[in-house]
Structure 1
Amino acid sequence: MTVNVYDLANELERGIRALPEYKAVQEAKTAIAADATASQLWDRFVASQEKIQVLMQTGQMPSQEDQDEMKELGEAIEGNATVKAYFDAQQRLSVYIQDIERIIFTPLQELAN
């Protein structure tokens, strides 16, 4: 019997979307969009994170100023229940994603050994 991996992948996608953890991330994201303070904080965080990623990809280290900004944003996020709820929900969902990645990539890792 031949297994259609595309059907399995589509079934997995539907399963992920049905997870309560996935729905919690969606709801938390909607809550950020509805809260001007949380939305502004989120936008600042994303911009700062992108800036640091660009630096790292070009082989540069973030400046002390950049590091201080990320620390400040982290503290602000901890103090903002709406954005913190989003990060907490993402963390819970990431447990599933890590397990799924491990399962999917095991056969490929076996080929490399």
Structure 2
Amino acid sequence: MSVETTSVEQMGRELGRAITDLPEYEAFEEAKARVEEDDEVQEAISEFEQLRQEFMVARQTGRADQEQLERVQEAQADLHEMPIMAEYLDAQDELQDRLEAVNEAISAPLAVDFGGEAGGCCQD
């Protein structure tokens, strides 16, 4: 491996470590842990996922109806209204915004969107 490649890879590792030190990342990890530890939230997530899966199967077989869709949407709204889940979603949004800013900083000197297209092939 060339010195340039090793240097760029090292900078990538340093960037990864720097991202884990961001307040937004730390807040996200803390919120994620609270979601994972809360039995009520986990039950609501399971209920939502079950309803969503049932709706997806019904849609694939042509049997989905508006009532099923509304049940999925209501379960999702109920889940998102739970304070612990709302904190998690807010932390996720803040981290995503920060990572998009990092992506823009990396992409600025490049001819591609580093985070969105750098690894893709044959994209229009």
Both structures adopt the same fold (TM-score exceeding 0.5): yes
3-state SS of the aligned residue for 1:109?
coil
Identity of aligned residues (%): 24
The verdict on how the C-alpha distance between 1:43 and 1:13 changes in structure 2, with shifts beyond 3 A counting, is farther
> Which residue of 76, 82, 96 corresponds with 2:78?
76
Match of 2:31 in 1: 28
CA distance in 2, matches of 1:84, 1:30: 13
Structure 2 stretches of 5 or more lacking a match? 114-124
Measure the CA separation in 2 of the matches of 1:70 and 1:49: 6
Provide, for residues 26-79 of structure 1, a one-character-per-residue CA deviation record: whole Å limited to 9, x for no partner: 11111112211111223344566678899xxx9x9x864553244213321332
Runs of at least 5 residues in structure 1 that lack an aligned partner in the other structure: none
1:14 is matched with which residue? 17
Question: How many residues are treated as equivalent by the alignment?
Answer: 108
Q: Normalising by the residue count of structure 2, what TM-score does the alignment of the two structures yield?
A: 0.65
Matches of 2:52 and 2:12, distance apart in 1:
30
